[in-house]
Chain A
Amino acid sequence: EADIYQTPRYLVIGTGKKITLECSQTMGHDKMYWYQQDPGMELHLIHYSYGVNSTEKGDLSSESTVSRIRTEHFPLTLESARPSHTSQYLCASTSTTFLPEKLFFGSGTQLSVL
């Protein structure tokens, strides 16, 4: 059973608000990821981190930002939410020691921006 947690599970907010989606894992994994998932579409990687103080943008351009100050914590922030940000956001983690790599996902945050 995966020990990776995302909060909130659901979020409905108005345009222009600043939001932070939380993701924490207790498995000591060095790699963490944020994916965006929309119905009928591929999971798109928006951010990833290979360790503390290391963050990179993924394949899908995103206006969000991330930080990795602690190994277990990888929050995602939107400074000014817009309706186009409405989506399911999935956080995942893995360890460099897993070969091939296998991802452990959180339950996701369903974000709706009105």
Chain B
Amino acid sequence: TQLLEQSPQFLSIQEGENLTVYCNSSSVFSSLQWYRQEPGEGPVLLVTVVTGGEVKKLKRLTFQFGDARKDSSLHITAAQPGDTGLYLCAGAGANSKLTFGKGITLSVRP
């Protein structure tokens, strides 16, 4: 079974601060995705990374896929209250099925 560990589990920061959160596994994934879920809604895909070492930027969010394709990080610059939510990472195995982590609950205080 492929497991994805996300850390930290909870994070509460002030508006304007920078943060980095992580998604780690002992397994290799063909691709890795990050989703954001707001209260009362379903997850929404933010990004998919495919190549080891790949870096993708989405406005103030920077996603990186580890060289060995076992881990990923999400860096948010100058966090805003609108960034508040549950951040889920999901890895695709050889059979393309997605394995989800438990998520990181981010709260950005005004």
Contacts and interface: CB of A to CB of B under 8 A. Distances in A.
A9 B101 CA distance: 24
Nearest to A96: B96
B59 interface: no
Given A43-B88, A100-B48, A100-B96, A92 B102 contact: no
Interface residues on B, range: 20 to 34
A103 B45 contact: yes
A23 B99 CA distance: 22
Contacts of B50: 100
Interface residues of A, number: 19
Interface stretch (A14-22, A69-77, A79-87, A104-112): A104-112
Given A40-B9, A43-B88, A45-B97, A102 B48 contact: yes
A41 interface: yes
Given A42-B100, A42-B101, A107 B40 contact: yes
Interface string B71-110: 0000000000000000010101000111111110000000
Interface in A40-76: 40-43, 45
A107 B42 CA distance: 4
A92 B9 contact: no
Contacts of A45: 97-98
22 contacts: A2-B42, A6-B42, A42-B99, A43-B43, A43-B88, A43-B90, A43-B100, A90-B42, A100-B33, A100-B92, A100-B96, A102-B33, A102-B45, A103-B45, A104-B45, A105-B35, A105-B44, A107-B41, A107-B42, A108-B40, A108-B41, A108-B42
